Structure 1
Amino acid sequence: MLATVAAGFALYAGAPPRELWWLAPLAFAVFAGVVRGRRARAGFGYGLLFGFAFLLPLLGWLQDFLGADFGPWPWAGVAGVEALFLGLAGAGMARGSRLPGGPVWMAAVLVTSEVLRSIVPFGGFPWGRLAFTQDTGLLLPLAALGGSALVSFAVALIGGGLAELVHRRHERRRWVAPLAAVLVPILGGVVMLPFIGTDANAGTARVALIQGNAPNVGLGLLYEDDVLRANHIKGAQQLVADVQAGRVPQPDFVVLPEQVGSWGPSRTDPNLSAIAEQLGVPLVVGGLGTDADGKPRNQIVQWDPATGAGDRYVKQHLVPFAETIPMRSVARLVSPFVDRFPRDMVPGDQPGVLKVGDIKVGVGICYDVAYDDVFTGATQQGATVLALPTNNAWYGHSEMSYQQLAMARLRAVEHGRAVLVASTSGVSAVVQPDGTVSQQTQQFTAQNLIAEVPLRSTQTAATTLGSAPTWAAVVLAMGSLLFSWWRPRRSAEG
């Protein structure tokens, strides 16, 4: 039990903002070694411990967000619910470990548990996937081959292989298979490294990111919409002044964060129109809008200098108990958003590809980046650069913004695209197609970024394959579980 808890905490210690990617496979190796050969019931218990030890500190930003008003219960509750899925993974890994090629089945089961918790409950919560610990290091290039699923699989396969090597340490003739499980993912990452494209094969774009800052008041931000908007209008106006004075070059387009605007069905905004007109370039701006049906939507709008509001993207993955609120009468005990938003937001169902001048910009909003489908769909439909407007001011000086930036770095490699992260209060960043961060802001500062980024039209294998690697892992996991059930029954009948 102590080893399991230590392994869970070690997995957290290797997560962003720390660049200790190699800790994740080592931590998973300890967990895999503990559950190896045990009953499924024991595997579940150890998995629950492992998950809670990992997720409780990883999600500490929930306490920064809600703790002052609601105590530790939302934080502990979310960590506990998500740890259940690692409990299920532990149970499946225990069964799969008894089969030949155990590390492979264990890795497939782990990926399947991540898929499951990305779907349920209430739309899922993918935070804390193994892939998101690998924003640096030798395994990151694998994202271009099989997306986040392959990266998670690689981390778990190495861990399972290491555990098997320890178990067979006195049986050198049986080292080949577990040693391959350790070395193949690492060699795969090394081999893939030269194939990570960074060339501007569709041209370049000069972009501006506006971080206008926000008050660090936690839940008090619910009532600071006017301040948030004013700060970002001021930041955009400063960009106008700098361009007109020749202090910075004119951008091709400007990205403003999530929740800057607030629009009715007509979607008019004199300030945004004036800024776009003065710059002579389009804006990509996030805001809350109410359509003619009276329902609110979290959206990103392309703002043209001549015609104003144009195409938009509506956020596909809404945050449960904030943007969409199940069980409202109970949710009121743990969420202030029940009273702030009397109606649930409406999710979008289309990938976000906005025509911004002559450039196709793929967009997602904040929480969207944790899901595989948003940027995959946008890139498949021709986006040559990706943008992520977000509002992280709720979470104070926590690790949340850096965890989200790590996801953006993985998505950059996965799709071979530069990613533009525009945050209200930081961390805003320019991420290159190889996952490197070329510019980055500090938290709770007002700062504009200007950068030249490559536009790319080449699709990676991960983009082309889409969800296929994920479902391949699920099929492997289900097959291993069925075989582990059938095998002893067949032996008994024989």
Structure 2
Amino acid sequence: MSTASVTVTAERVGVARRWGPRLLAALTGACLALAFPAVNVWWWAWFGLVPFLLLAAGAGTFREAGWRSWWASAGFFGTLHHWVLPFLGVFWPLAVLVIGLVWVPFGLVAYGLLRRVTPARAAVALLVLPSVWVAVEALRSWQHLGGAWGLLGSSQWQVRPVLGLAALGGVWLLSFTLVAVNTGLAIAMLRGASPRARLAGGGAAVALAALPACSGLVRPEPVVTGVMRVAGVQPGPVPGPDRRVAAHLRLTGELAGRDPDVVVWGQSSVGLDPARRPDVDRLLRRAAAEVGADLLVNVDAADSSGRIAKSAYQYTPNGVVDTYVKQRLAPFGEYIPLRPVLGWIAGHTEAAEKDRITGAGLTVFEVAGRRVGPLISYESTFPDLRRGLARRGVDVTITQGSLTTFHGSWAHAQQASFEALRAVESGRPAVLVELDGTSAAFDARGRRLAWFPPDYRGAFVVNVPLSAEETPYVRLGDWVPALAGGIALGAGAAAAVLRIHRRRARR
């Protein structure tokens, strides 16, 4: 074999060794996304990170660990949020480039801790790796970055034995536990790990998986204080604001005689300003009188000043008695960040042509003698909003949603699944009514009370058992991300000091 042939063969082997693990990392990330709705392979989240951790540990250099982390992150978010990419137009490659950076800090720390594992380093990894993961999740959950969508803990929304962890530390504690279990399993499988380290890792994984499940099985039931009959109207996508209102009114009329306490319409159900359309105002009052219950409609229209806000209106036969204006707006969908600089994006994508205005704070509606906490669509992803409503003493939270833009995608089931988590976190039942999407309701323990898929068209009534449980998460707030951030920063500082001492010792 000639020298040139040997060189070419060596180059091919080098490319295969470099790109094979990277592509495998992308596959592991994509597979982990299947733990979420709509596929719902929830059990995969308990060990789906193990292949990636093994790839990171065997990277050889921090640079290669960073590349493998980027590919894994791109595979995960690209699969989980594939329904968003077609709406990004020519900017989808840039979006993939950015989301690939999310896992890089975690992957770099995993390489640093797992490349040479001793029992002591195994113990550190079991604490630090979950902390880094949760700290990054908390940072990327900032409302202007897309909210708390795709948090690892949310994959467990239908696993009631472990869902109780959310009442203690929110979705963050679920994420922490899952990553800790994955870390323990990875340590048990590392070739270079000592037998004691492997035993410690495997034992920790078993214990961390068993304890939450056992505690969830013996968790006492909340005291039910009553039942609220919540009706929802789901007409699907109806073009034109007048036709959309008419479709909602027709379905609302079908609820007469079914004794609902409240009738809920989805987000953007009223694309007209009732203050500027007296005929629409009269129709909404009449509907409330005929059905014998307050209407919660959602107005998405320009007012007399030209401003647009997405607002929940509480209608009675006497008119509007209370309103709530959406606080957390979906970036690009409802406003463009730094519009003077980035406004040109609207001409190349389906970004908002005009920014919606934001509300000043949370509101509590008094409905049929009960306290109702209203939220609107994107806001369902944020644990702190539901916690704030629980602190105000609401009996139930009701979210008005609409996913017409992402019709037929995984987004429907993913948004509906948030309600189970939010119910357990807040200790309050949660109801989601979609204009077009998956409407759902859960009790305070995350039990499914109703589930109406995107193709459902009609009106429904759900008997929602009410309970007033003050969970530790409501009392203590986001203590898990705060603690995780402290551990991550402390570990980083300790590593820096240790590195400085080693350099001095070498001199």
CA distance in 1, matches of 2:130, 2:195: 23
Question: In the aligned structure 2, how far is the partner of 1:311 from the partner of 1:40?
Answer: 56
**One-letter identity of the residue aligned with 2:68:** Y
User: Aligned partners of 1:195 and 1:308: how far apart in 2?
Assistant: 47
Q: Is residue 231 from structure 1 mapped to residue 247 from structure 2 by the alignment?
A: yes
Give the Cα separation in 1 of the matches to 2:390 and 2:406: 30
Given candidates 377, 385, 389, the residue that maps to 1:374 is 385
Once the two structures are superposed, what CA deviation does each residue of 1:445-466 show, in whole Å capped at 9, x if it has no partner? Answer: 3122212111111111122121
* Aligned-partner SS, 1:127: coil
**Percentage of identical aligned residues:** 25
Residue 84 of structure 2: aligned partner: 62
Aligned residue in 2 for 1:112: 135
Matches within 5 A, 1:31-50: 31-36=52-57, 39-50=61-72
| 1:82 corresponding residue in structure 2 | 99
Deviation readout 1:395-450 (Å, 9 max, x if unpaired):
12111100111211211222222211101123112222222323222323312221
Q: Per-residue deviation at 1:130? A: 0.6
Cα pair 1:427 1:443 within 8 Å, conserved: yes
The alpha-carbon deviation at position 41 of structure 1 amounts to 3.3
Which residue of structure 2 lines up, in the alignment, with residue 279 of structure 1? 291
The code of the aligned residue for 1:128 comes to G
- Specify the alignment match of 2:118 in structure 1: none
Secondary structure at 2:39's aligned position in 1?
coil
Count residues in correspondence: 470
**Where does 1:259-270 land on structure 2 (aligned, <5 Å)?**
259-262=268-271, 264=273, 266=275, 269-270=281-282
Give the match for residue 246 of structure 1.
none
For 1:145-184, list aligned pairs within 5 A. 145-167=168-190, 171-184=194-207
Structure 1 residue ranges without an equivalent (≥5) = 216-220, 244-248
Measured after TM superposition, the shift of residue 315 of structure 1 is 1.6
Deviations 1:115-152 (A, max 9, x none): 121127x3444321112211123532211111011111
Could you say what secondary structure the match of 2:84 adopts?
helix
Aligned residue for 2:45?
Answer: 24
Aligned to 1:206: 229
Q: TM-score, normalised by structure 2?
A: 0.86
Report the secondary structure of 1:287's partner residue. strand
Q: Which has the larger radius of gyration?
A: 2
Quickly say closer, same or farther: Cα 1:322–1:188, change in 2 above 3 A.
Answer: same
Backbone CA RMSD of aligned residues = 2.5
Q: How big is each residue's C-alpha offset from its partner over 1:32-57, in whole Å with a ceiling of 9 and x where there is no partner?
A: 22223765433332221111111112
- Paired residue secondary structure (2:71): helix
Gaps of 5+ in 2: 1-21, 116-120
Counterpart residue number, 2:398: 387
Which deviates more, 414-423 or 131-140?
A: 131-140
Q: Compute the TM-score of the two structures, normalised by the length of structure 1.
A: 0.88
- CA–CA separation in structure 1 for the residues paired with 2:62 and 2:245: 52
Pick one of 324, 346, 368 that aligns with 1:332. Answer: 346
For residues 132 and 212 of structure 1, the distance between their equivalents in structure 2, rounded to whole angstroms, comes to: 28
d(CA) in 2 for partners of 1:197 and 1:364? 28
Structure 1 stretch displaced more, 444-453 or 32-41 = 32-41
**Quick check: 1:446 aligned with 2:457?**
yes
- Higher RCO structure (Cα 8 Å, ≥6 apart): 1
SS at match of 2:400: strand
Match of 1:309 among 320, 327, 332: 320
Q: 1:140: which partner in 2?
A: 163
2:311 to 278, 291, 299: 299
Distance 1:366 1:464, change over 3 A: same
1:12 aligns with 2:37: no
Q: Quote the offset at 1:26 in angstroms.
A: 1.6
- Are residue 415 (structure 1) and residue 426 (structure 2) matched? yes
Change (3 A) 1:304 1:25: same
Q: Would you say the 8 A contact 1:313–1:352 is kept in 2?
A: yes
Q: How far is 1:229 from its partner?
A: 2.7
Deviation sequence 1:211-252 (CA, Å, 0-9, x none): 12215xxxxx6xx33333332222112223xx2xxxxx3011
1:452-486 per-position Cα deviation (integer Å, ceiling 9, x unaligned)? 11111111112212122221111111111222222
Match of 1:218 in 2: none
> CA 1:153 to 1:212, structure 2 compared with 1: closer, same or farther past 3 Å?
same
